[in-house]
Structure 1
Amino acid sequence: MDKAADSALLQEAKKKAGQCDRCGACLPVCPLFGAKDVELSSARGKNAIARALAEGGIESTPDALAAVNFCLLCRACVENCPSKVRTDEAMIDLRQFLVERTGATNAKYRAVGGLLKSPGLVRLAAGTLAVLRRLGLNDLFPHGMAPDEYTRAHFLAAFAGPAALGQKAPSADVTVTAATKVAYFYGCGMRMMFPRAAAETLAILQTTTRVLRPDNVCCGLPHLAHGLRGEFLALARKNIRLYEDADLVVSDCASCGGTLKHLASFFADDPQWRDRAAAFSSKVMDLTEYLVKVGYTPRRKVKAALTYHDPCHLVRGQGIKKQPRDLLQATGKFIEMEEADTCCGGAGSFHMDYPAISAKILGKKLRNIERTGAAVVVTGCPGCLIQLTKAAKSSGGKFKALHISQVI
Structure 2
Amino acid sequence: MNNASDLCVKCGKCIPNCTIYDINHDEVTSPRGFLDLIAAYKEGKLQLNKELESVFESCFLCNHCVEICPSKLSVDNAIEKMRFDMVKKFGMPWYKKIILSCLKNRKWLDILAKLGYIFQSCAFHIQNKDFEKNLGMRAKFSMPFVKKGRFLSSFNKKSFLNSNPNFIDNGGSKTIGLYVGCLTNYCYTQTGFSTLKILKELKINVDLMKKQACCGVAHFFSGDFKSVEILAKKNIEYFEEKLQKLDAIIIPEATCSAMLKIDYERFFMMQDEQEWANRAKKISSKIYIASQYLYQFTSLKQLLKNKKQKKYSITYHDPCHARRMQGVFKEPRELLKANYTYIEMQNPDACCGFGGISMQTKHYDKTLSVGEKKVEMINQTMAHFVSAECSACRMQISNNLERKSSKVVFVHPLELIAKVL
The bucket for the TM-score relative to the shorter chain is 0.7 to 0.9
Asked if 2 retains the 8 angstrom alpha-carbon contact of 1:129 and 1:193, the reply is: no
Q: Is 2:189 the partner of 1:195?
A: yes
Asked if 1 retains the 8 angstrom alpha-carbon contact of 2:184 and 2:191, the reply is: yes
Asked if 1 retains the 8 angstrom alpha-carbon contact of 2:355 and 2:367, the reply is: no
Q: Is 2:134 the partner of 1:146?
A: no
Q: Is 2:118 the partner of 1:110?
A: no
CA-based RMSD: 2.3
* Residue 214 (structure 1) aligns with: 209
* Residue 231 (structure 2) aligns with: 235
- Say if 1:113 and 1:71 are closer, same or farther in 2 by CA, change over 3 A: same
Q: Is 2:370 the partner of 1:364?
A: no
Asked if 1 retains the 8 angstrom alpha-carbon contact of 2:151 and 2:399, the reply is: no
Shift of 1:229: 1.0
* Residue 333 (structure 1) aligns with: 341
Asked if 2 retains the 8 angstrom alpha-carbon contact of 1:145 and 1:193, the reply is: no
* Residue 267 (structure 2) aligns with: 266
One-letter amino acid of the counterpart of residue 82, structure 1: P
| Deviations 1:209-235, CA, capped at 9 Å, x for gaps | 110011211001111111111211111
CA distance in 2, matches of 1:249, 1:21: 39
Query: Equivalent residue of 1:139, what SS?
Result: strand
- Say if 1:185 and 1:327 are closer, same or farther in 2 by CA, change over 3 A: same
CA distance in 1, matches of 2:93, 2:121: 32
* Residue 46 (structure 2) aligns with: 58
* Residue 110 (structure 2) aligns with: 123
Asked if 1 retains the 8 angstrom alpha-carbon contact of 2:66 and 2:72, the reply is: yes
- Say if 1:180 and 1:134 are closer, same or farther in 2 by CA, change over 3 A: farther
| Deviations 1:62-96, CA, capped at 9 Å, x for gaps | 33232211111100111122222221111011111
Asked if 2 retains the 8 angstrom alpha-carbon contact of 1:193 and 1:382, the reply is: no
Asked if 2 retains the 8 angstrom alpha-carbon contact of 1:314 and 1:321, the reply is: yes
Shift of 1:18: 1.8
One-letter amino acid of the counterpart of residue 210, structure 1: N
CA distance in 1, matches of 2:55, 2:317: 28
One-letter amino acid of the counterpart of residue 208, structure 2: R
Shift of 1:289: 0.3
Higher relative contact order (CA 8 A, sep 6+): 1
Asked if 2 retains the 8 angstrom alpha-carbon contact of 1:184 and 1:214, the reply is: yes
Sequence identity of aligned pairs in percent?
27
Shift of 1:125: 3.3
* Residue 399 (structure 1) aligns with: 408
Shift of 1:133: 6.2
CA distance in 1, matches of 2:37, 2:23: 20
TM-score for both structures, normalised by structure 1: 0.84
- Say if 1:62 and 1:352 are closer, same or farther in 2 by CA, change over 3 A: closer
Alignment of 1:223-372 (within 5 A): 223-244=219-240, 245-246=242-243, 247=246, 248-262=248-262, 263-267=264-268, 269-270=272-273, 273-293=276-296, 294-296=298-300, 297-298=303-304, 301-349=309-357, 350-372=359-381
Unaligned 5+ segments in structure 1 are 1-11, 150-175
Unaligned 5+ segments in structure 2 are 127-136, 141-145, 156-169
One-letter amino acid of the counterpart of residue 280, structure 1: I
Asked if 1 retains the 8 angstrom alpha-carbon contact of 2:180 and 2:251, the reply is: yes
CA distance in 1, matches of 2:208, 2:121: 27
CA distance in 1, matches of 2:63, 2:183: 21
Asked if 1 retains the 8 angstrom alpha-carbon contact of 2:313 and 2:340, the reply is: yes
CA distance in 1, matches of 2:101, 2:256: 17
- Say if 1:274 and 1:25 are closer, same or farther in 2 by CA, change over 3 A: closer
More deviation, 361-370/190-199: 190-199
Query: Equivalent residue of 1:257, what SS?
Result: helix
CA distance in 2, matches of 1:66, 1:396: 31
Asked if 1 retains the 8 angstrom alpha-carbon contact of 2:151 and 2:402, the reply is: no
CA distance in 2, matches of 1:289, 1:194: 20
Asked if 2 retains the 8 angstrom alpha-carbon contact of 1:346 and 1:384, the reply is: yes
| Deviations 1:312-337, CA, capped at 9 Å, x for gaps | 11111111111111111112111111
Number of aligned residue pairs: 369
Alignment of 1:45-124 (within 5 A): 45-100=33-88, 102-124=89-111
Shift of 1:134: 6.4
Shift of 1:341: 0.5
CA distance in 2, matches of 1:353, 1:376: 30
One-letter amino acid of the counterpart of residue 264, structure 1: E
